[in-house]
Amino acid sequence: MKSNPITQEIWNNGNLHVTRREAIRRTLLGTAGLMLADRVVPFAKAAPRTPTAKSVIQIWMWGGPCHLDTFDPKPEAGNDYCGPLAKTLETNVKGIRIGEMLPELAKQADKYTILRGMTHGINGHETAAYEVQTGRKPGDGQVYPAVGAVVSLFKGYEAGYKGLLPPYIVLTELQGRFSEAGFLGSRAKPFATGGDPAKNPFVVEGVVAKGITEKRQKDRRELLQNLDTMGQIMKDDPRLKDNEKCEQAAYDLILGDAGKVFDLSQEKETVRNQYGLNTFGQSCLLARRLVERGVPYVTINYKGWDTHKAHFQTMRKNLPVLDKGFASLLQDLSDRGLLASTIVWWGGEFGRTPKIQWEAPWNGGRNHYGKAFCHVVAGGGFKGGQVVGATTANGEEVKDRPIYPPDLIGSFYQLLGIDPNAKLPHPQGQDVRVMSANNADGKERRGGLLTEIM
Amino acid sequence: MQTSNKTVWVLGFVLWTLIAAAAEKPVVPPAETDPNKNPYDSGIKPTPVCEIDRMVFARLEKLGIQPANICSDAVFVRRAFLDVIGTLPTAKEAKEFIKDTNPKKREELIDELLKREEFIDYWTMKWCDILRVKAEFPINLWPNAVQAYHRWIRTAIRDNMPYDKFVRELLTANGSNFRVGPVNFYRAVQSKEPNGLAQAVALTFMGERAEKWPQERLDGMAGFFSQLSYKSTREWKEEIVFFDSTRTNKDGVVATKAVFPDCKEFKFSPDRDPRLVFADWLVSSDNKWFARNIVNRMWSWLLGRGIIHEPDDIRSDNLPVNPELLAYLEKELVASKWDLKHIFRLILKSRTYQLSSVSGPRNQEAEANFARYPLRRLEAEILIDALNQITGTTEKYTSAIPEPFTFIPEDQRSVELPDGSITSSFLEQFGRPSRDTGLESERNNKVTADQRLHMLNSSHIQRKLEQGPKMVYLLKKASSPREVVGGLYLMILSRLPTEQEARAVVNYTESSGVKGRDVAIDLAWALINSPEFLYRH
């Protein structure tokens, strides 16, 4: 259905002429955020270098995978550290070896860099997830927005993004307790697809409804309009106009072309198979499709890595899925020329105890470990085929080049051209910047931006 | 079979339309509105019945603004239910009220609603927003303390505790966070330093943002909270809040004095908790902040906007639009011995509260002076509870962190959730406040595109409509299509359909090819997606 054209309109405040696209942009943000935004421009000026990245795909390893089992293997550390995963694989970059369960990723090592010096020392899921994704220590009275919220603010509608797809999309579920938007509030909340991209149809919550034909959608919409007696009487009410614009934006996804991005059956069978016919694999494929359409930030919220018990059984099950999906994503982005402008960020809130807990009730599990872990970054201006930082012989300490969350996040912002000193729109008008000043209160440790690979 | 079904539908509609049109004649024939086209407006111009009206209308007259007409009965019953008890009237309640010919029925409804159990739940939720009742980051009360704090607030509201007593107990309590609910006021803050506590007190009970004050003034008031200490016990997450005359500040000094916000100084004596002295000062009838803050907030809760706006940003340069009105409400609160229900009654029984949303001028000045009732989107909890009431469904709320897991009974309404950190994507999407700061603006009732997506097309809502036991029951029990349509209108919009609407439904069955119960589902879908349902009006 062609959407009803909303012609140029006058908003009740300040006779501002607003086009339809502008109106959609605003409604997606919510009008509250807009007023704030208008006060806080200009954004993202004075970037220190030419931005190379346009989008970010964050593979969020919820629960925290173990560095020893993945990208920082320690075959010499012995059975108490490696358990049954004691072998390593040579990658396509000489000298870099990764865990035995990641053969596909071993063929892609030239595209990514392994950050083996990750550390923050926090062992609680929430606090660690907060710090890794905001670059801030909790406790100063602010709830900071996560990277995705900041990027969607500086690369989204307020910075000229024109897409009909929301600028910040989470596949498939929100992170729950960890509020992605922080004090930015609803303007920066991600759109969570819900559903399962490995199922047919992929029921994207709100966009695709199972069992409702397109004809019935259109008929219903007409019925809704015909029955909207209040709207007909109060045509000039600004609140109802806001409502109408939001509804229009929603229908652009339900009935318009924009929503077709979620239809993975448009992809070739071979491509779908390559990524893996499972939730994670198809999420990676969808992330590629979203980035292709210009969505600035996509999070794949990949659960199931909090393996206190049955650790190695879970690794045998999960790592091949990870390997296939992640490796295909890198290859595909690269083949399509998208990798150069897309940061791919892989990692969780912490690592897991290098020393295996053989005792009951863990029976060969690994606990939370914030002291040393690893992340992987690729694309968007990051060099591939590198390793930054190193851990000690059994992976328990960072011995070389520590990388703290703000180092990582600050590097993303630099590649994206987001000024770390730009003001964030704060609901109480407080002066809060994208990044905290270095070591402002002596609490925050930094290892420096990832200049080695930028 | 299907054809005959359709015929029955169409015939039923025509018949019912005629009956409905005859039955729905209003008691007072409106002068200029046709209830069959405009079911919202009575067409009657308001005349003042109380002090509030006289003050509001006088101000409007001075500005040359004509107030809106009085709203219709159908609008009133819905508005009063939503505003007073945060609950949608049932079809039966709406119908009985509309049919009732008692000329005092609006006043009587208000009195009844103020006595309902849901009143307690709804206003407990409001207070929990302001008092920041939340187990987790960044407030970190933890679950046991949330229960104790919530229970204390709920009991106070149930008993209509005089407001001065309510605040005094919150400000002066000592003891365990698990056992003495109100001590959690001093724990539900992001900074437990004296300045942070003073800011929370100023915001909550004076309506002022102390971070905008001169530093000296804030420091002066902070002195009153400088001898408050916290200590843990051997029980996990238990904390004792108590008066400690030896507590030192971060420079190792014991404070010896504090300064009231009105500049008077107070010197400490070791045997008297300075919080008691501050509470005496605050809850006095001469205190210019105390009554003003709460009556202004209450006005904004019921009429969508404070007499001083924002209601929690009172400053010397943020003037009330109607100073006499504010002064009158303050005086009434003091004279009633701090009875908040008295203020509720005064406002709710005024004609000002009964103004329609659809007539009257639509400019900023008219709205700021209460010339009509403003549209407001339903709060997240109220919206989901209303949808559940209509369809007979429930929500599952659980909390996995912190352990032990919390499971909320399924029949509990969302408005009753004690803990602001219970995860719910629906509540978050529809702007539930984070309870991080206690600011009124934390609750975001703005409409967004993803909210529209969710209501229009999510499996969550679709499932309720298709499988909700109440929907199923209505479809099974109704003896005619007329009853189904009338029932849905009453359940969802608290009124019967107009002729035009009834015709639109008939047309839908003819043109869409949708049949049988799907017609009813599509109708219910359209009604819950109409602004009339989504907004208080």
Of the candidates B276, B131, B303, the residue with the CA atom closest to the CA atom of residue B203 = B131
Q: Is the pLDDT of residue A211 over 90?
A: no
Q: With 0-12 CB in 10 A as exposed, 13-18 as middle and 19+ as buried, what is B128? A: buried
At residue A180 the predicted structure's pLDDT band, cuts being 50, 70 and 90, is: confident
Does the residue A46 lie in any domain?
no
Domain shared by A64 and A81, yes or no: yes
Give B403's pLDDT tier (boundaries 50, 70, 90).
low
d(CA B294, CA B286): 14
Question: Both A22 and A125 in a single domain?
Answer: no
User: In this model, does residue A16 exceed pLDDT 60?
Assistant: no
Task: Tell me which of B241, B258, B282 is where a domain ends.
Answer: B282
DSSP summary character for residue B254: B
Which residues form the domain of B490?
A: 452-536
Residue B322 forms part of a structural domain: no
How far does A5 lie from chain B, in Å, by closest CA? 17
**Residue A130 falls within a domain, yes or no?**
yes
Instruction: Out of B423, B436, B537, name the one closest to residue A230 (CB).
Output: B537
Q: A152 and A254 share a domain?
A: no
Flag whether A187 is in a domain. Answer: yes
- Confidence band, pLDDT 50/70/90 cuts, at residue B24: very low
Task: Give the per-residue pLDDT at A187.
Answer: 78
Question: CA-to-CA distance for A294 and A261, rounded, in angstroms?
Answer: 11
Judged by DSSP in three states, B259 sits in: strand
SS (H, E, C) A280-328: HHHHHHHHHHHHHCCCCEEEEEECCCCCCCCHHHHHHHHHHHHHHHHHH
Task: Confirm whether A223 is domain-assigned.
Answer: yes
Average pLDDT of the residues of chain B: 91
Preferred mutation among B195, B447, B523, B527 to probe A, highest tally of A CBs within 10 A: B447
Q: What is the pLDDT of residues B97-127, one digit of tens each?
A: 999 999 999 999 999 999 999 999 999 999 9
The pLDDT of residue A201 is above 90: no
- Residue A437 confidence (pLDDT): 77
A186 with A219, same domain: the answer is: no
Amino acid B209: pLDDT: 95
- Pair of tokens at residue B153: 């607030």
Instruction: Provide the token pair at B488.
Output: 């849905």
Residue-level pLDDT at A177: 64
pLDDT in tens, A342-369: 999 999 999 999 999 999 999 999 999 9
Q: What is the CA radius of gyration of chain A?
A: 23
CA–CA distance, B299 with B369 (Å, rounded to integer): 12
Instruction: Quote the pLDDT of residue A441.
Output: 54
Least confident residue range of A68-72, A317-321, B192-196, B397-401: B397-401
Asked whether the beta carbons of A94 and A103 are under 8 A apart, the reply is no
**Are residues A276 and A170 part of one domain?**
yes
Q: Is B529 on the interface with A (CB under 8 A)?
A: yes
Is the residue at A210 inside a domain? no
Question: According to the model, what pLDDT value does residue B34 have?
Answer: 73
- Min Cα separation A385/chain B (Å): 39
Q: What is the pLDDT of residue A126?
A: 85
Domain that holds residue A235: 1-40+215-258
Say if the Cβ atoms of A216 and B439 lie within 8 Å.
no
Residue B520 located in a structural domain:
yes
B447-491 pLDDT, tens digit each: 999 899 999 999 999 999 999 999 999 888 888 888 999 999 999
Q: Average the pLDDT over B167-193 and give the result.
A: 96
Domain membership flag for residue B494: yes
Q: Please check whether residue A301 is in contact with residue A62, taking contact to mean a CB–CB distance below 8 angstroms.
A: yes
The number of distinct structural domains making up chain A is 2
The reply to whether A233 falls in a domain is yes
- What is residue A33's predicted lDDT score, i.e. its pLDDT? 38
pLDDT tens for residues B509-525?
999 888 888 999 999 99
At B240 the three-state DSSP class reads: strand
Domain stops at, among B230, B259, B282: B282
CATH number at residue A162: 3.40.720.10
pLDDT of residue A31: 39
Percentage of chain A exceeding pLDDT 70: 87
- The answer to whether residues A310 and A410 belong to one domain is yes
Q: Is some CB atom of chain A closer than 8 A to the CB atom of B138?
A: yes
Residue A47 domain-assigned (yes or no) = no
Mutation for testing the B interface, residue in A36, A126, A205 having most B CBs under 10 Å = A205
ipTM of the complex: 0.91
pLDDT of B28-70, one tens digit each?
434 345 777 899 999 999 999 999 999 999 999 999 999 999 9
Q: If pLDDT is split at 50, 70 and 90, which confidence band does A24 have?
A: very low
Q: How many CB pairs (< 8 A) connect A and B? A: 191
The reply to whether B57 falls in a domain is no
Same domain, A234 and A85: no
DSSP count for chain B of H helices, then E strands: 24, 9
B439 to A224: CB separation less than 8 angstroms, yes or no: no
The full length of chain B comes to: 537
Q: Please indicate, yes or no, if residue B317 is contained in any of the structural domains.
A: no
Residue B349 lies in a domain: no
pLDDT top residue among B86 and A182: B86
- The distance in angstroms from the start CA to the end CA of chain B is 42
B446 touches chain A (CB under 8 A): yes
Which structure tokens are listed for B167? 């605040």
Q: Which one of B282, B302, B334 terminates a domain?
A: B282
At residue A442, the pLDDT reads 58
- Write down the pLDDT at residue A430: 83
Q: Give per-residue pLDDT as tens, A418-453.
A: 999 999 998 777 899 999 876 555 567 889 999 999
Chain B residue with the nearest C-alpha to that of A144: B138
In chain B, which among 381-410 make CB contacts under 8 A with chain A?
401
Query: SS in 3 state form for B422-480?
Result: CCCHHHHHCCCCCCCCCCHHHCCCCCCHHHHHHHHHCHHHHHHHHHCHHHHHHHHHCCC
Specify the pTM. Answer: 0.85
Question: Are A360 and A243 in the same domain?
Answer: no
A343 and A231 share one domain: no
Q: Is residue B104 part of a domain?
A: no
The predicted-structure confidence for B234-289, as pLDDT tens digits, reads as follows 998 999 999 999 998 888 888 999 999 999 999 998 889 999 999 999 999 999 99
B368 inside 8 A of chain A by CB: no
Token pair belonging to B370: 């209460």
* Mean pLDDT on A210-235: 94
What is the total count of domains within chain B? Answer: 2
Nearest to A276 by CA among A311, A339, A319: A319
Looking at the structure, do residues A194 and A284 belong to the same domain, yes or no? yes
Measure B146 CA to nearest chain A CA, in Å. 17
Indicate if A235 and A281 belong to the same structural domain: no
A chain contacts of residue B450, beta-carbon cutoff 8 Å: 28, 166, 189, 191, 206, 250
Nearest C-alpha neighbor of B42 from the set B88, B17, B6, B77? B77
Closest CA to B286 of B254, B341, B330: B330
